[in-house]
Structure 1
């Protein structure tokens, strides 16, 4: 059985070749673990409680490693609760009963702790076998599932080019890390101040604009059904100035149980407008920045977000991230797991 398990992990390496290009980030989930690598090749692996066991308290461990040779894995833990908030200011970490020392837990309400290098190494050394990863307080215990951890950390090795090197976590080898993949720089995005003055158009102009916006979608595209589907009703169109030649227009595109998405287009100030779609999932616009924030489920314990900024000619994608799995660990989400990062100035 053990050999079959490792054969499965080996096959996954081949599957990873079909992942999205690193320029757009990479996400992968196995069991109770997930990994998200951003466009710089920094990877963040998060493990959670096994929800199949209804006795387990919500908890998550985050393991972060930057790309490049000789980079250490950094660990954090976040405690959650099903009934009452944790009261412990420190917890004992144990793996298969072996004591790995205490972890101090923050007192500011986020229940966050930082793992020592020895505690991180304890987790990394346990991934090839069945392991009980426990954090024990005075009255509560939190257990991080080991289901999927080996596959996720093998993915981290693969994305960063560490497989068969001495620095690999899962599939170590004799090669040095001299030729592992380097960290990639964050894209530099220079923004331009916008005029941000609202524009008022008459009904004829708005009708022409609506037709131009609809034409940016194919007939079978439902990404903006509240604009394109007459049965949904006419979505109100808003217009604001970006500069003397370009305007930004928006309209409600869709609405779901606990989310909604607005479409944003850059248009010419005069007909035929030539609209260029930025997104249909936006939540807000302020002073040259479009943002999107969407819940993963109604209780709000998991979110995804994106952002775009005006560079004087177009809106440039500046960021994308999630807060991790919907595991009820923390209100507003457990971690910041970006797939795309940039430097904006």
Structure 2
């Protein structure tokens, strides 16, 4: 399960800014059997949640950009084995043919395991309309049938309309009005996040690279024993140190270990003085920093730090993201999350913050 420290970064009703100079992040929310999220550019995605006891994973995906002219795209996603490269699927809603009897939809799979059916715009609109009263969408082809829940679809899409400011406009998915698309503001611009590589800095000797984390851990045990749990046997093998500047080092200490998660805290140490070290508080979309990063890795060649916190072993929920060292601090460059453990793979986790990465010297 997600550790208490990593849960600190999970909050889904937000309107806070991340840090000085960074754009506002997005939010996500669960609506019965649907989940929706929007990023800092007001690009939104809504997904139906697979059944908890389902042997296969299938779901509806709706995606829409935040600009006035951006249209919604709907697709049906299938994760199974032995899918054909192309297939013809029949759709029913609560047992009734959709949209008409005998109509089929073409699906494709490039690897035999992930299938996709893209709905034409008019059929996507018809599906949204049918979801107002429908409860279940079935996809059938060959000898396979996949069931997708529509419970919560209308509420999720209404929330997306609200986040994008479309309520009462001709572009709304649910609550349409007479306001023209031109009444909507332009989508925010993609923020530029700079990262500074540190690979060219003089490296610590093997002896010093081990000694600095050891000294910091000993200091914390005396001065702040609750800041990082006592290392289990072998945890010190995961502790690391990197130069970030002529006198500044980044030190990582493992603070807890689980079956599939390793949590680490990061400190900035100036001139080797561990007594005056500063723990890094990494910004999150909720505005509440996280002290620890789970399954994290710092890359001196790019100045980027990534993390991947799994809510449980199958990695169908949790958080992931990237931070960039800009020469002064670590700033958020990307954030993805999935708050519900219902079989959705990491590549479908909702993106709440994205940026354009720029490497600087």
Could you tell me the TM-score, scaled by structure 2's length?
A: 0.76
Residues 1-345 of structure 1: pairs in structure 2 closer than 5 A:
19-21=13-15, 23-51=24-52, 57-81=56-80, 84-87=81-84, 89-90=86-87, 91-95=89-93, 96-99=96-99, 101-108=104-111, 109-195=113-199, 197-199=203-205, 200-201=207-208, 209-210=216-217, 224-226=228-230, 236=236, 237-271=239-273, 272-277=275-280, 278=282, 279-282=291-294, 283-287=296-300, 288-322=303-337, 325-328=340-343, 332-333=345-346, 335-345=348-358
Tell me: CA distance 1:335–1:173, structure 2 relative to 1, closer, same or farther (3 Å).
same
- Which sits farther off after the overlay, 157-166 or 318-327? 318-327
Q: Mean alpha-carbon deviation: is it higher for 164-173 or for 103-112? A: 103-112
Give 1:43 shift: 0.5
Distance 1:171 1:206, change over 3 A: closer
Alignment partners' CA distance in 2, 1:298 and 1:254:
16
SS at 1:191 equivalent: strand
- Find the aligned partners of 2:177 and 2:126 in 1 and give their Cα distance: 20
Listed one character per residue, the Cα deviations across residues 104-158 of structure 1 (whole Å, up to 9, x for unaligned) are: 2223232233332233222222232124322211111112111111111111011
The CA deviation at 1:192 is 1.5
Please give the TM-score of this superposition, normalised by the length of structure 1: 0.80
CA displacement at 1:264 relative to structure 2: 1.8
Residue 4 of structure 1 corresponds to which residue in structure 2?
A: none
Change (3 A) 1:266 1:146: same
Q: Report the Cα distance in structure 2 between the residues aligned to 1:137 and 1:154, rounded to whole angstroms.
A: 31
Shift of 1:204: 8.3
Name which of structure 1's ranges 144-153 and 183-192 shifts more when overlaid on structure 2. 183-192
Cross-structure match for 1:3:
none
Q: Distance in 2 between matches of 1:62 and 1:122?
A: 15
Residues 321 and 204 of structure 1: is their aligned pair in 2 closer, same or farther, counting only changes over 3 Å? closer
Q: Distance in 1 between matches of 2:262 and 2:73?
A: 36
State the distance in 2 between where 1:24 and 1:214 align.
36
CA distance in 1, matches of 2:209, 2:297: 24
CA deviation after TM superposition for structure 1 residue 55, in Å: 6.8
CA-based RMSD = 3.0
**C-alpha displacement at 1:318, in angstroms?**
0.8
What SS does the aligned partner of 1:97 have?
strand
Q: Compare 84-93 and 286-295 and name the one that shifted more.
A: 84-93
Report the alpha carbon displacement of residue 93 of structure 1 after superposing the two structures with TM. Answer: 3.4
- Residues 155, 166 of structure 1: CA spacing in aligned structure 2 closer, same or farther, 3 A cutoff? same
**Distance between the aligned counterparts of 1:234 and 1:193, measured in 2?**
29
2:4 matched to which residue of 1? none
Q: Which runs of 5+ in 2 are unaligned?
A: 1-11, 17-23, 283-290
Runs of 4+ in structure 1 over 4 Å off: 54-57, 202-208, 211-217, 232-235
Displacement of 1:173 after TM fit?
1.8
Q: What is the total number of aligned residue pairs between the two structures?
A: 315
Moved more, 184-193 or 91-100: 91-100
